[in-house]
Amino acid sequence: MKLLSTKATCNSHGQDSSYFLGWQEYEKNPYDEKKNPKGIIQMGLAENQLCFDLLESWLNKNPDAAGFKRDGQSIFRELALFQDYHGLPAFKKALVEFMSEIRGNKVTFDPNNIVLTAGATSANETLMFCLAEPGDAFLLPTPYYPGFDRDLKWRTGAEIVPILCTSSNDFQITETALEEAYKQAQKQNLRVKGVLVTNPSNPLGTTMSRNELNLLVDFTTAKNIHLISDEIYSGTVFNSPGFISIMEILKERNCSESTEVWNRVHIVYSLSKDLGLPGFRVGALYSNDDMVVAAATKMSSFGLVSSQTQYLLAAMLSDKKFTKNYISENQKRLKQRQKKLVSGLEKAGISCLKSNAGLFCWVDMRHLLCSNTFEEEIELWKKIVYDVKLNISPGSSCHCTEPGWFRVCFANMSEETLKLSMQRLKAFVDTTINVHNQSNHQSVKNSRRMSLTKWVFRLSFDDREPCGER
Amino acid sequence: MATLSKIATNDRHGENSPYFDGWKAYDRNPFHPTQNPEGVIQMGLAENQLCFDLIKEWISKNPSASICTAEGVDEFKDIANFQDYHGLPEFRQAVAKFMSRARGGRVTFDPQRVVVAGGATGANELITFCIADPGDAFLVPSPYYPAFDRDLGWRTGVKIVPVNCYSSNNFQITREAVEEAYKKAREANINVKGLIITNPSNPLGTTLHRDTLESLVNFVNENNIHLVVDEIYAATVFNSPKLVSITEVIEKMDSNINRDNIHVIYSLSKDMGLPGFRVGIVYSYNDTVVNCGRKMSSFGLISSQTQYLLASMLNDDEFVDNFLAESSKRLDKRYHTFTKGLEQIGIKCLKSNAGLFFWMNLGHLLKEQTLEGEMELWRMIINDVKLNVSPGSSFQCTEPGWFRVCFANMDDETVHVALNRIGAFVCQGQETSTQPTKKKRWQKKNDLRLSFSSRMISEESVMSPHKNMMSPHSPIPRSPLVRA
């Protein structure tokens, strides 16, 4: 009899993907301005490190929240004991108000409909457990966050069928693509339970258009399936056209409690990106369906948010002056930082998808490929990791259908480091272009190919594999 | 088509069990010494509230352990960013050290084998996902913690096969009983993947003998199945015999024992009284399980803010030694206050040396020695005596009349009120037992199997009793359940 479970011995955790392996290489040789200036710069981690000063300044002014106190009185005991899976009421209230504020107060959320979970990772998995049987499928537009393979499929047994999006229309979702995906699922004998989108998109960094959102509502209504909108990056929208939440669309279409679609739309949120607090494991799922809320609430027992953290953040997010300033300052800094990346890429002759959100850009390096294949994409990626010493994420790890796209993060490093990374990239591109332009480029190409194959890329990994998120 | 999953709509979350009904009764009418002295006293919640003063004192003396204070804020950025599913290294080290100290230093734990999880709830589910497939089963000696049905089986699809234990030998687990249950399961084509035991036991409050543990290790080894030992109450041992951890047993047994099959579950929720912090641990001798378990940690990581604070606290040897000693002392005192008081009114409990509860025998008060008889008595205890205790049937105990009573989640004053109420009830019971035909008021009271939506539960516990009771200027800090 086999000793361990199927889950323990398969690799549906998705961790053999290049996305995670790049991090592994980074861990072996991480860049440090002083200690390791020639190391690999991490540009594969979608973290928001731009506004810690604002958080620290708030902490400085609010010692009670840190010290388990309320109005100077200790509430340590209550917090230490608080394991109610309904969550700290004050935190849920503050959280839904924060979500509302991010959406320009165009929609409001009911704290009774929000379920707290240990990060969006847990929220997404929990929704799958609630909505899908093992073998059921969810349709996801490509490219998508590599972690979804683990979060949605691993322990739940659910399947993902891609909605193929292409650069021809800036990777927007089309009706044709939706119908194709649905047909594809049926061909594979998979029952489709819903569509899951990330809005703003990871890895594209774009917000969904009103058109796309309406299309999704039409499609899921016609097929009578669920719609999950992962809005984890909603607070990172720094430019027009601005963020339109799925809830806004429902409101516009007068889809209230009396309509079926009301109960089939669910939102995932987290403070890991907007507030830059991935370590605190604060995730949430929001649903208008009471049964989903009830089931998910019970399931949250498997990953509750630490009461200490709930209390701290309840205080922080209840400070409306703070949240107002934070939201606008965060967007401002992200905008500036993204501009720097875009212009740095431009100088290297590299363009990227026009984006208005997120902590990364979707970069077009198709012109640097020797041929339009995924093998070449991986070859290029290896060069960038080992030679240029930048850890960026290849599009194939995001299930992109077109080779040559890469996700490059910009908010998890200092400005100087970003500048350096662009210098390195430019130097690399210049060399590559020069090489291509030389008259005997063919033989040079051959010798370069030979030296490429000398690089051994080990797929085995020890316990020190990387494990950050998104 | 847009239906929900079977998991979302079935009952395997177990919340329709009487275990939770008692809590609902408490939530509607919670005891308070001055504001609601007639309310229901909560004795169904295994919390350890006896040593908060020690922890609070440590926190106030160590401001740098918090990343939010002026002394600690330099670490804020790095810690807030830290989501590595390996867990904070210093936290794993500190936990490994603490686990060792809680076992009197008789064994050491390797921090590299510590896997973090969302409370023991998360840890138990995690280990199940690692070692069993849907449809597989675990043997679990009864009586057992009611939520195991949910933790081990709800989302995993794994079954529990109880191994019944009896009062005739003080509910001890025997190899024979385990083998019998295993054989029966195999004959019924049930694929048993492992044996799960809780040591110290919940609800019994007893620790297992070394011999028993050895025989169970031999059993799993011979049959090539797993042994998971939930040691969540390890440091609540307040009397001899000392805890014999499974890790101690393994270290001393022959090398032919396959350690890959041995796993330990731990948590700080009981030993330190910090259930709100969600600290669960899976400790495994199996590298694949550790590796896989780590990845699964992602679904229930411990807040880095909390890891950081506790790493600091648990690395303070002086604090830990004092805490463990003091905690044992206070638990011992509380246990004896209760059991002596109960002895005086003729109520016997299983002799125990650990845990936050005792296993009380009220068989002599049952009208009938049946499950119905037990439930009838239980409803009386909730409605009339106003104590929320947990009926043995909710722990799958096959003998009616046993109740688990928690003693560490209240102050001294409440202990006396509880004892007085039990005393009064027992005396009254002796009076009325001569009039069996008289219809009791309580028989007409509402069935405790109340059904309401989960939303209502949240509103009940958040709003009603406390809000009515406490004036806005009450000096007593309000529970965060109500006002936070």
pLDDT of residue A166: 97
Has residue B449 got a pLDDT over 60? no
pLDDT of residue B285: 96
The token pair that represents B154 in the structure block: 């709800």
Q: Among A197-211, A255-269, A389-403, whose mean pLDDT is lowest? A: A255-269
Instruction: Give me the percent of chain B exceeding a pLDDT of 90.
Output: 81
CA angle A422/A425/A430 to nearest 5° reads 125
- Alpha carbon of A448: minimum distance to chain B alpha carbons (Å): 37
Euclidean distance between CA atoms B393 and A131, whole angstroms: 32
A266, A287 Cβ separation under 8 angstroms: yes
Has residue A371 got a pLDDT over 80? yes
B30, B463 Cβ separation under 8 angstroms: no
Q: Among A9-13, A53-57, B218-222, B446-450, whose mean pLDDT is lowest? A: B446-450
- Alpha carbon of B11: minimum distance to chain A alpha carbons (Å): 10
Q: How confident is the model at residue A15 (pLDDT cuts 50, 70, 90)?
A: low
Q: How confident is the model at residue A16 (pLDDT cuts 50, 70, 90)?
A: low
Over residues A340-362, the mean pLDDT reads 97
Note the pLDDT tens digit of each residue in A274-293: 999 999 999 999 999 999 99
Euclidean distance between CA atoms A421 and B463, whole angstroms: 55
| CB-defined contacts A:B, below 8 A | 299
Beta strands B357-361 and B402-406: pairing type? antiparallel
Over residues A143-161, the mean pLDDT reads 96
Q: Among A95-104, A330-339, B110-119, B246-255, whose mean pLDDT is lowest? A: B246-255
Has residue B452 got a pLDDT over 60? no
Euclidean distance between CA atoms A138 and A125, whole angstroms: 12
The token pair that represents B2 in the structure block: 């847009």
Contacts of A14 in chain B (CB under 8 A): none
Note the pLDDT tens digit of each residue in B22-36: 878 888 999 999 999
Q: Among A183-192, A439-448, B19-28, B231-240, whose mean pLDDT is lowest? A: A439-448
Q: How confident is the model at residue A218 (pLDDT cuts 50, 70, 90)?
A: very high
- Determine which of A257, A281, A302 to mutate to test the interface with B (most B C-beta atoms within 10 Å): A302
Over residues A336-355, the mean pLDDT reads 97
The top-scoring range by mean pLDDT among A40-49, A64-73, B6-15 is A40-49
**Amino acid, res. A258:** S
**Amino acid, res. B479:** S
Euclidean distance between CA atoms A394 and A391, whole angstroms: 9
The token pair that represents B183 in the structure block: 């054989």
Over residues B421-429, the mean pLDDT reads 85
A274, A102 Cβ separation under 8 angstroms: yes
**Catalytic amino acids of A?**
145, 230, 232, 273
Q: In this complex, do B2 and A226 lie within 8 Å of one another by their Cβ atoms?
A: yes
Euclidean distance between CA atoms A12 and B84, whole angstroms: 19
Cβ neighbours around A394 below 10 Å, total: 26
pLDDT of residue A255: 85
E-strand stretches of B149-238: 159-164, 192-198, 226-230
Euclidean distance between CA atoms B463 and B477, whole angstroms: 16
Q: Which member of A73, A121, A297 has the closest CB to residue B298? A: A121
| CA closest to A63 among chain B residues | B69
Contacts of A132 in chain B (CB under 8 A): 5
**Distance set, CA A444 to CA A370, A376, A425, A428, A438 (Å):** 13, 17, 21, 16, 9
Has residue B365 got a pLDDT over 70? yes
pLDDT of residue A72: 87
Q: In this complex, do B59 and A82 lie within 8 Å of one another by their Cβ atoms?
A: no
Euclidean distance between CA atoms B190 and B196, whole angstroms: 16
Euclidean distance between CA atoms B221 and B174, whole angstroms: 16
Residues 6+ away with beta carbon under 8 Å from A315 = A62, A64, A65
pLDDT of residue B432: 57
Over residues B373-377, the mean pLDDT reads 95
Residues 6+ away with beta carbon under 8 Å from B409 = B42, B43, B45, B46, B47, B48, B49, B356
Over residues B124-152, the mean pLDDT reads 97
The token pair that represents A176 in the structure block: 């044709």
- Determine which of B4, B296, B482 to mutate to test the interface with A (most A C-beta atoms within 10 Å): B4
pLDDT of residue B18: 65
Q: Return the closest-CA partner of residue A422 out of A368, A342, A304.
A: A342
DSSP letters, A125-168, are: HHHHHHH--TT-EEEEESS--TTHIIIIITTT--EEEEE---GG
pLDDT of residue A317: 97
Note the pLDDT tens digit of each residue in B392-412: 999 999 999 999 999 999 999
Q: In this complex, do B2 and A260 lie within 8 Å of one another by their Cβ atoms?
A: yes
Q: How confident is the model at residue B21 (pLDDT cuts 50, 70, 90)?
A: confident
Q: Find where tokens 């990626």 sit.
A: A381
Beta strands B137-142 and B114-118: pairing type? unpaired
A307, B276 Cβ separation under 8 angstroms: yes
pLDDT of residue B25: 84
CA angle A128/A129/A131 to nearest 5° reads 60
Beta strands B114-118 and B279-284: pairing type? antiparallel
- Alpha carbon of B27: minimum distance to chain A alpha carbons (Å): 12
Q: Among A17-26, A371-380, A417-426, B408-417, whose mean pLDDT is lowest? A: A17-26
Has residue B427 got a pLDDT over 90? no
Contacts of B269 in chain A (CB under 8 A): 83
Q: In this complex, do A303 and B66 lie within 8 Å of one another by their Cβ atoms?
A: no
Euclidean distance between CA atoms B97 and B88, whole angstroms: 14
Q: Which member of B119, B454, B462 has the closest CB to residue A294? A: B454
Euclidean distance between CA atoms B41 and B419, whole angstroms: 11
The token pair that represents A297 in the structure block: 């609430």
Phi and psi for A243 in degrees, rounded to 5? -100, 130
- Alpha carbon of B93: minimum distance to chain A alpha carbons (Å): 16
Over residues A381-387, the mean pLDDT reads 94
Q: Among A66-70, A116-120, A303-307, whose mean pLDDT is lowest? A: A66-70
Q: In this complex, do A463 and B86 lie within 8 Å of one another by their Cβ atoms?
A: yes
Note the pLDDT tens digit of each residue in B282-327: 999 999 999 999 999 999 999 999 999 999 999 999 999 999 999 9
pTM: 0.89
pLDDT of residue A18: 67
Q: Among A35-39, A63-67, A370-374, whose mean pLDDT is lowest? A: A63-67
Over residues B448-466, the mean pLDDT reads 32
Euclidean distance between CA atoms A234 and B479, whole angstroms: 33
Over residues A246-257, the mean pLDDT reads 91
Residues paired with residue A287 on neighbouring β-strands, in sequence order: A266
**Amino acid, res. B105:** G
Cβ neighbours around B87 below 10 Å, total: 24
Q: In this complex, do B477 and A74 lie within 8 Å of one another by their Cβ atoms?
A: yes
Over residues B131-158, the mean pLDDT reads 96
| Gyration radius (Cα) of chain A, Å | 23
Instruction: Give me the percent of chain B exceeding a pLDDT of 70.
Output: 88
DSSP state, A304? P
Residue A29 burial (10 A CB sphere; 0-12, 13-18, 19+): middle
Over residues A388-416, the mean pLDDT reads 96
The token pair that represents B281 in the structure block: 């641990």
